[in-house]
Amino acid sequence: MFETGSDFVALSSLEAGPKRSTTLLSRRVPLAAPDAQLALLDALDLPGGDFEARLAEAGIPGLSPKPLGFFQINVGKLCNMTCRHCHVDAGPDRTDEQMDRATAEACVAALARTPAHTVDITGGAPELNPHFEYLVEESVRLGRHVIDRCNLTILLLPRFRHLPEWLAERGVEVVCSLPHWRMRNTDAQRGDGTFEKSIAALRLLNAAGYGRGDPARRLTLVSNPAGAFLAGSQLAMEREWRVGLEREHGVHFDRLICLNNMPISRYLEWLESTGNLAAYMERLTAAFNPAAVDGLMCRDTLSISWDGRIYDCDFNQMLALPSVVEGRFVRVQDFDAATFAARRIVTARHCFGCTAGAGSSCGGATT
């Protein structure tokens, strides 16, 4: 296997996980800074490209929160992979940004004060955070449904081989990335060998009881387009994936969700470097669908970063656009459900990514 002789394999190695790219931070490129990303988007000559104005035209007076449903915790940017489209700029070199125990405990304390039904743990590869299992245990103890946003390949590392069973025993939903049910597009986005490892990991999850219709062992696949195009019909694709994965690999899953790629971080860099940025943003703004606004995830989600800051969604988090509550930013230690519910959600041009076509969210299409 991978870690014979010692119990550790360097995350930066191809053994630990496929690599399609390197982090913007490690390359010290200007676009690593959220401000530079926002400036690049704002500088585009984009007809109909003012998000708040488009909401107003559709008779929607800004984005207001709904009752809190999803408590999303981004435990850090460390990852065993470096996918080309990553909006987090995650990778094996991102060792500095990791949630510590005190912040994890503050998350649990804040969770206990909210009615959120679901705790959504993401990263990076969230399993790499030393407090991942603590967060899962405590969230389950508080009676919340827990989601592990899993890149699949991490499950093949020996130190995580217990996870499929461990997660299954706690009823954790595994929401895992698989851009396509065939190899080509998966490896193009996530690195050579990803598809094969992903199928191996899905088999481990199936063996632990995942993907067989048991609501306590729900296996959800997430597809992001591998290129400068939008996510297709979730229902139609789910049908084809189900047939294809079962026929060719004997793999089962419970549902497929389709997300658009957000013009942030490494995907933004890829769009710009391939000359696709303007056309992609025009496509997003032209496909603005007011009907997708009602189900936007930012309306019933809060997103906590590794250092305890609170954001309206994971994308705003990566663009350093924190939630504004009574005119100021808040940390999870100071979280107050009532004042948080009265805020107005922060938007910018990237928000067109979630309102295009059938809509896009961490839970898939919003319409």
Q: Which residues sit at the interface with other proteins, rule CB under 8 A?
A: 180, 182, 184-185, 223, 225, 227, 229-233, 236-237, 239-241
Specify the pairing of strand 301-304 against strand 310-311.
Answer: antiparallel
Nearer to other proteins, 233 or 273 (CB): 233
Taking the complex as a whole, the smallest distance from the CB of residue 176 to other proteins amounts, in Å, to 18
Taking the complex as a whole, the smallest distance from the CB of residue 274 to other proteins amounts, in Å, to 14
Nearer to other proteins, 34 or 227 (CB): 227
Taking the complex as a whole, the smallest distance from the CB of residue 76 to other proteins amounts, in Å, to 32
Nearer to other proteins, 99 or 199 (CB): 199
CA 22 to chain centroid, in Å, comes to 18
Residue 255 neighbours by CB distance under 10 Å: 18
Spatial neighbors of 55 by CB under 8 A, at least 6 apart, are 61, 62, 63, 290, 293, 347
Nearer to other proteins, 29 or 278 (CB): 278
Nearer to other proteins, 333 or 367 (CB): 367
Strand partners, 70: 118, 301
Taking the complex as a whole, the smallest distance from the CB of residue 184 to other proteins amounts, in Å, to 5
Nearer to other proteins, 140 or 228 (CB): 228
Taking the complex as a whole, the smallest distance from the CB of residue 348 to other proteins amounts, in Å, to 25
Nearer to other proteins, 263 or 308 (CB): 263
Taking the complex as a whole, the smallest distance from the CB of residue 258 to other proteins amounts, in Å, to 9
Nearer to other proteins, 155 or 356 (CB): 356
Taking the complex as a whole, the smallest distance from the CB of residue 231 to other proteins amounts, in Å, to 7
- Given a contact cutoff of 8 angstroms between Cβ atoms, the answer to whether 333 and 309 are in contact is no
Q: In this structure, which amino acid lies at residue 204? A: L
Taking the complex as a whole, the smallest distance from the CB of residue 259 to other proteins amounts, in Å, to 13
